[in-house]
Every structure is written in structure tokens, then in C-alpha cells.
């Protein structure tokens, strides 16, 4: 039996899968297979019943599910909403593990998106991951996330052991695959990162953060043409309106010289979402389109940023706005300090002059 999941808007094929029918097979078995397929492929339907059952009330369960939904949308606005809801849930169910894990992921996601101070986000993420492991030393999601935190801090042996333990406890977990792929990406191991993120997306095709991580890896590893193709593919599926994806695609198209298409796409991004990394992507696209005419706006943005000295993600803008000498000085500073975010950004093709 062939099953196709199609988006009504635009009639885009989201997923296609065959289920083998066996003679005298119970109908319940087929129903379970279809249900699992829908949970994997339709955003908002997937949740871990074990995690939810640990919450101590209907109210806290509803707050948690709303928070997880916002976390999974993976936009600046949704992450800010997730932060509020998951913090509320932790206060309502202080002995439940799931809200701590989700809150830790939320803080790190906001830091990566450039909408939360990176140093404070790392402190908060580690604090909540440790709290989750204190509640249950064998919780695979908590162990996996703590493994991510440790490896980002260059504590590779501890991080590797935590990931190994998490994977043994839960070998088919989209969360752990995502955390490990995220870890490999941050460490610059692009081929391995891509393989692991693909494993995550096979388990959970609608995970927005994993899709966007794959897009960055593809740009770094395979180049602009493959990145544009993948961006179009993701937009035709479940990331159609995601502002992070849209801003990346605008930047890629601008780098390729497809300025009219890039400008048209940029209009689809809501103004209230233009912050952090989205703003950086769009400003770089403006530079590609308008060259020196875009520099005053870029310099104004850089001056308004409070933590430029701790944000390697600004290096592409610094290079075009202030030149190679200043950008190289920042590059060497991040390298000397072993900045935890620098390992990810130093692979950016736009910074090849500084390597």
C-alpha cells in the first residue's frame, strides 16, 4: 500500500512511503503503522508519551506540550514563547525531567539564533541539563544533551561517554541523533554531522531545527548550489514559512547573484522576526545586492550589538564592513580564546580569506 502525505496549500508532496500488506494481517497492526507514520511526518502530532506521563497534572502537561510545540517551530518568536512556557512548566512540575531537557535545548537554540546572550545561555542550558540528570541518572535525553554541552566546552572524553551511554539506552531517538549531529557540526566534523542529522530526520522528518542545521552543513560542505536546492526542498515541505530558512535562502540566492528572486523571498519574512541571525543573513544579502551602499546599515547594526567580542557569527559582516585587518584580528582573538562558537563559524565559505 502506497501512502502519500500532501500539503493542501500548493499541493506539495511532503512524504511518500510504502507499507507491505501481509495476508491475514490484523487490522490493528496496519493501523499502528499508519499512526506511527503520521506521528513522524506531521508537525505537532509527535510527542513522547513517557515524558508526558511524568508531569504531575493536566495543567502542567498542557503547558509542556504548548512549550514543546513552540520549541519545535524554531523561530525567534516561538523560542521566546517556549522559554516562558517551559519555565512555567518547570515551576509547576519541579520533579519532572522533560521540561528541564526542553528548557536546556531552548536556551542553546536561542543562543545559536543570536537572540540570547551566548555565555548566559550556556550556563542556563548546563544548569537545566544537570538538574534533569540529577532527577534520573539514566535518562537518555538528559544524558545526550549533557554530552552536547560537554563537547561544546571541549570536554570531549566526558561528552563522548555521555553520548555513548545515551545511545545505548535509546538507540532510536531523534533527540539524541539531533544533539549528536549538532555536536559534530559545532566541532567542524561536517560529513559525520550530515550523516547523523539525516538519521534524525529519518526518524522525525518535520524537526525544523534539524532541517536548518542540515542546510548550514550543506552550504559549508557541498557549496551554494546544493544549499539552494536543499532550501527549496525544505520550503516545499514543512519549513515553508520558517523565517530562519527564508533568510538563509535569501542570502544564498544573493550570493549566487539571483537578486530579484532574493528580494521577492525577503518580503515573506515578517518584520517582527528580523532579529539575531535572521538580521545578519539579510544584511549580508543586502551587501551582495548593493555592495558599498549596504555598508552604512551593516556598520550601524554592528555598533548596536552588545556582545560583538563574543559572537563569531558576526565575522562575515565585520569582514565586509570593516575590512580584512579588523576581521582577522577578531578571528585570531576567537581562535586564541578557543571560543566555543568559533569552531562552527570558521568553516563558513565567506570567511575563506581569514583561514
Q: Go through 147-166 and write b for each residue having 16 or more CB atoms within 10 A of its CB, e for each that does not.
A: bbbbbbeeeeeebeebbebb
% of the chain with per-residue pLDDT over 70: 90
For 239-262, what is the mean pLDDT? 96
- Cβ atoms of 89 and 67 within 8 Å: the answer is yes
Long-range contacts of 228-237 (CB under 8 A, 24+ apart): 228/252, 228/253, 228/256, 236/10, 236/12, 237/7, 237/12, 237/14, 237/205
Average pLDDT, the chain: 89
Which backbone phi and psi does 6 adopt, to 5 degrees? -125, 135
Determine the pLDDT at residue 54.
Answer: 67
**SS3 category, 12:** strand
Regarding predicted confidence, which is higher, 247 or 43?
247
Structure confidence at residue 11 (pLDDT): 60
| C-alpha torsion angle, residues 293, 299, 305, 309 (rounded to 10) | 130
pLDDT tens readout for residues 145-182: 999 999 888 888 898 899 999 999 999 999 999 999 99
Domain boundaries, the chain: 2-41
Residue 352 has pLDDT above 70, yes or no: yes
CB atoms within 10 A of CB 267: 8
pLDDT at 32: 61
Q: Name the 3-class secondary structure at 96.
A: coil
Mean pLDDT, to the nearest integer, of 108-118? Answer: 93
- How far is residue 238's CA from residue 352's CA, in Å, rounded to a whole number? 32
Contact criterion met (CB below 8 Å) for 93 and 99: yes
Exposed/middle/buried for residue 85 (C-beta within 10 Å: 0-12, 13-18, 19+): buried
Amino acid at each position: 500500500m502506497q501512502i502519500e502525505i500532501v500539503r493542501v496549500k500548493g499541493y506539495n508532496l511532503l512524504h511518500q512511503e510504502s507499507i507491505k500488506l501481509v495476508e491475514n494481517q490484523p487490522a490493528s497492526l496496519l493501523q499502528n503503522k499508519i499512526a506511527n507514520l503520521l506521528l513522524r511526518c506531521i508537525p505537532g502530532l509527535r510527542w513522547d508519551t513517557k515524558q508526558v506521563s511524568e508531569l504531575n497534572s493536566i495543567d502542567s502537561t498542557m503547558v509542556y506540550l504548548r512549550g514543546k510545540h513552540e520549541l519545535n517551530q524554531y523561530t525567534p518568536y516561538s523560542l521566546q514563547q517556549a522559554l516562558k512556557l517551559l519555565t512555567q512548566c518547570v515551576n509547576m512540575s519541579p520533579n519532572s525531567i522533560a521540561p528541564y531537557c526542553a528548557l536546556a535545548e531552548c536556551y542553546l537554540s536561542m543562543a545559536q539564533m543570536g537572540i540570547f546572550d551566548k555565555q548566559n545561555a550556556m550556563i542556563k542550558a548546563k544548569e537545566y541539563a544537570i538538574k534533569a540528570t540529577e532527577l534520573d541518572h539514566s535518562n537518555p535525553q538528559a544524558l545526550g544533551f549533557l554530552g552536547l554541552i560537554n563537547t561544546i566546552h571541549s570536554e570531549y572524553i566526558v561528552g563522548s561517554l555521555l553520548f555513548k551511554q545515551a545511545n545505548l539506552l535509546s538507540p532510536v531517538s531523534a533527540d539524541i541523533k539531533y544533539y549528536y549531529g549538532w555536536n559534530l557540526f559545532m566541532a567542524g566534523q561536517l560529513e559525520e554531522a550530515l550523516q547523523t542529522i539525516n538519521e534524525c530526520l529519518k526518524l522525525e522528518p518535520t524537526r525544523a531545527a534539524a532541517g536548518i542545521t542540515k542546510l548550514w552543513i550543506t552550504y559549508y560542505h557541498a557549496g551554494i548550489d546544493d544549499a539552494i536546492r536543499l532550501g527549496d526542498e525544505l520550503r516545499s515541505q514543512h519549513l515553508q514559512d520558517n523565517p530562519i530558512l527564508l533568510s538563509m535562502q535569501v542570502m544564498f540566492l544573493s550570493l549566487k547573484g539571483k537578486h530579484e528572486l532574493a528580494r521577492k523571498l525577503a518580503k515573506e519574512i515578517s518584520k517582527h522576526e528580523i532579529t539575531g541571525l535572521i538580521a545578519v543573513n539579510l544584511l549580508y544579502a543586502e551587501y551582495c545586492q548593493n555592495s558599498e551602499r549596504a555598508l552604512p546599515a551593516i556598520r550601524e547594526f554592528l555598533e548596536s550589538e552588545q556582545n560583538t567580542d563574543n559572537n563569531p557569527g558576526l565575522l562575515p559582516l565585520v569582514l565586509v564592513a570593516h575590512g580584512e585587518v579588523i576581521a582577522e584580528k577578531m578571528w585570531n582573538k576567537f581562535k586564541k580564546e578557543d571560543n566555543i562558537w568559533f569552531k562552527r563559524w570558521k568553516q563558513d565559505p565567506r570567511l575563506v580569506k581569514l583561514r
